[in-house]
Amino acid sequence: MQVVILDSAAEVGEYAARTILRGVSAGSIKSLGVATGSSPLAIYKVLQRHRSPELSALNAFALDEYVGLAPDHPESYAAVIRREVTDRLGLDPRRVHVPDGGAADLPAACARFEAAIRAAGGIDLQILGIGRNGHIGFNEPTSSLASRTRVKTLMSATRKDNARFFADASQVPSLCLTQGLGTIMEARKVILVAQGKAKAQAVVRAVEGPLASMCPASVLQMHPQATFVLDREAAGDL
């Protein structure tokens, strides 16, 4: 695992975006795994400034989705990805895949999502944020380290953290679909970005702690090409 520590949150976004742009121009990134949350937003803004035909030709795979929000609900991850990724990067919406949290048969929707990743030849680079409890995607503590895309229950701490995007905590769905840790580990490269003091404990557990399902991000210790890109505050406890 490589750890890159930069002075500011803006530099974190810039560094991760530059890595992606290099891979896109070299032709080694054709499928990008994209994350929601506030941490990766700066990356998408930098990518938008460097739009190119190669960038707009990418396939994109979201990490996760809430169950039970209509796709036009502004906080559904389908809507967030459309706003922050598809529109900014000029992607073809037919190449952008988000697990279908509105499907009548959720396990079948998860299987379809995994099949779409396989059909695209896998994910070349996966962008990740990290939750304060060490979750990646919506793989909460105790997630199987080998898990695949599936239905998960959100922990109350995560629902509280995400309540800022909703009118109040009771409106945050309690179920979600998420790529599994096994799915994430199959991406050829992983870049995890974290900014701010609130992430410092999760970062130190992921980087220095034991490999444990209680800190799902610690599974990245086993990934051959994982990079943590951190600002000084997020790296403060290392």
Residues 117-156 that bind ligand GLP (CB under 6 A): 129-131, 137-138
SS3 label, residue 94: helix
Decide if 11 is catalytic. no
Q: Assess 99 for contact with ligand GLP (CB under 6 A).
A: no
- Part of the chain binding ligand GLP (CB under 6 A), chosen from 7-15, 29-37, 83-91, 210-218: 29-37
202 vs 18: CA distance, rounded Å: 25
100 vs 69: CA distance, rounded Å: 10
207 vs 138: CA distance, rounded Å: 19
Sheet holding 150-153, edge to edge: 64-66, 175-178, 150-153
Decide if 64 is catalytic. yes
Decide if 7 is catalytic. no
Q: Please identify, using beta-carbon distances, which residue of 64 and 124 lies nearer to ligand GLP.
A: 64
Q: Please identify, using beta-carbon distances, which residue of 22 and 134 lies nearer to ligand GLP.
A: 134
Write down the least CB distance from residue 63 to ligand GLP, Å.
Answer: 5
Beta-carbon contacts of residue 202 (< 8 Å; ≥ 6 apart): 130, 131, 132, 133, 134, 194, 215, 217
100 alpha carbon, distance to own chain's centre:
16
Decide if 65 is catalytic. no
Write down the least CB distance from residue 40 to ligand GLP, Å.
Answer: 7
Q: Assess 162 for contact with ligand GLP (CB under 6 A).
A: yes
Which residues does the annotation mark as catalytic? 64, 133, 135, 140
Residues making contact with ligand GLP (CB under 6 A): 35-39, 63-64, 129-131, 137-138, 158, 162
